[in-house]
Amino acid sequence: MVKTLPLGDQQVPVPGFGAMGLNSAMGTDLNLEQSEPVLLKAIELGCTFWDTAVAYKNGENEKLLGEFIKKYTVRDKLFVASKCGFDFVEPPHQRATVLSLSCLFFWNRYLTLHLEDTPLEQSIGALDEIRRAGKTKYIGLSECSAATLRKANAIAKIDAVQAEYSAFETLHETTGLIETAKELGVAFVAFSPLGHGWLVDDFPFESPDDFAPNDFRRTVPKFQGENFYKNKTIVDEIKKLAARKGCTTAQIGLAWVAAQGLITIPGTTKALRLEENWASRDIELTEDELKEMRKIVDAAKPVGERFSPIFQSMVGH
């Protein structure tokens, strides 16, 4: 049963909450009023490690959280992580810059940087300066290589790295990123811990054409053409294990990631699902169940790239 995990000098409640899908990337565009049920549920339960980014709907996702935090005066209850470094205003969104730091709002306590072509000494130096000035408590990187993490950590202490990890996508077991983070004492924040919605009991999409026009999964090879149908079957064995365990597929998927010491940030737009995901922290996986999960995960690897070509070219540096 993993209920908290270390990040810097504190323990954060696990699972956290990924806010991206509230109004960006996943075909949903909720306003403040529509977001309130899920956000209030998170506060009520103590699910207070939240993730956002400047790039999510060009700052609107941060703004939405900001409006909520202000309205309910919950700033002191939350640990909000945001990511910056994308020049999201000028296509093709590739130029790395710390200029977008100016878009960060006051409540951020943990700041991550997507690296592109800015020299590491400059970007990490800038983040460290912000930390020293007390404007953020922690700094980190997102989807970088293991070598970059090591180099960055030698420039200034890196508190966290965020990268994709789930029972559906275990790539970073082979890139060395997880291992390196553990060795350096850097918290690993596992994004898309439900495989962008696949590791659940009721994935609602029957074909790639079912995604909304503005759903980024339409652009992701893993969710396109034949890959869609091949990958959809991956969760079948996990579903069976969850049913035997008496929990949901999402819960066993989240508990499995947390059991490895990685902080999950599942996203949902629904209060009931947040409750379901939060309850994954009450699940204890036995040695046998962990072994069975490992066997299933190793036998079933997804096909297709994780991102569209332009985003794929931006990760792993």
Ligand X SMILES: NC(=O)c1ccc[n+]([C@@H]2O[C@H](COP(=O)([O-])OP(=O)(O)OC[C@H]3O[C@@H](n4cnc5c(N)ncnc54)[C@H](OP(=O)(O)O)[C@@H]3O)[C@@H](O)[C@H]2O)c1
- Catalytic, 56? Answer yes
User: Is 291 or 309 the residue whose CB approaches ligand X more closely?
Assistant: 309
Residues 6+ apart with CB under 8 A from 246: none
Under the criterion CB under 6 A, does residue 197 sit at the interface with ligand X? yes
Please report whether residue 253 would count as binding ligand X according to CB under 6 A. no
- 142 lies in the site for ligand X, by CB under 6 A: yes
Segment contacting ligand X by CB under 6 A, of 148-156, 177-185, 238-246, 266-274? 266-274
Identify whether the C-beta of residue 273 lies closer than 8 Å to the C-beta of residue 37.
no
The burial class, CB within 10 Å (0-12 / 13-18 / 19+), for 11 is exposed
| Choices 120-128, 133-141, 171-179, 271-279 (CB under 6 A): range interacting with ligand X | 271-279
Binding of ligand X at residue 215 (CB under 6 A)?
no
Q: Is 161 in the site for ligand X (CB under 6 A)?
A: no
The two beta strands, 4-7 and 10-13, are antiparallel
127 CB-near residues (< 8 Å, 6+ apart)? 98, 111, 113, 136, 139, 156
Closer to ligand X by CB, 163 or 285: give it.
Answer: 163
Q: Which is nearer to ligand X, 57 or 131 (CB)?
A: 57
Catalytic-role residue among 56, 110, 138, 165: 56
By beta-carbon proximity to ligand X, the closer residue of 132 and 201 is: 201
Which residue in the set 15, 59, 266, 302 belongs to the binding site for ligand X (CB under 6 A)? Answer: 266
Per the CB < 8 A criterion, the answer to whether 180 and 152 are in contact is no
Nearest-CB residue for ligand X: 18
Strands 110-114 and 187-191: unpaired
290 burial via Cβ count (<10 Å: 0-12, 13-18, 19+): middle
Which of 5, 68, 268, 278 is close enough to bind ligand X by CB under 6 A?
268
Q: What amino acid is encoded at 197 in this protein?
A: G
The structure tokens listed for 61 are 């996702």
Residues 40 to 69 in contact with ligand X, rule: CB under 6 A: 51
Query: Does 269 interact with ligand X (rule: CB under 6 A)?
Result: yes
Strand-by-strand arrangement of the 110-114 sheet: 17-18, 49-51, 79-84, 110-114, 138-142, 160-164, 187-191, 263-264
Q: Is 17 left (phi over 0), alpha (psi -120 to 50) or beta?
A: beta
Minimum distance from residue 42 beta carbon to ligand X (Å)? 12
At residue 10, the 3 state secondary structure works out as strand
Q: How many residues bind ligand X, per CB under 6 A?
A: 29
Instruction: Provide, rounded to whole angstroms, the least separation between the CB of residue 184 and ligand X.
Output: 19
Q: Least CB distance from residue 50 to ligand X, whole Å? A: 8
Q: How far is the CB of 20 from ligand X (least distance, A)?
A: 3
Question: What positions carry a catalytic annotation?
Answer: 56
Q: Residues in the site for ligand X, rule: CB under 6 A?
A: 18-21, 26, 51, 83, 142-143, 162, 191-197, 200, 202, 250, 265-270, 273, 276-277
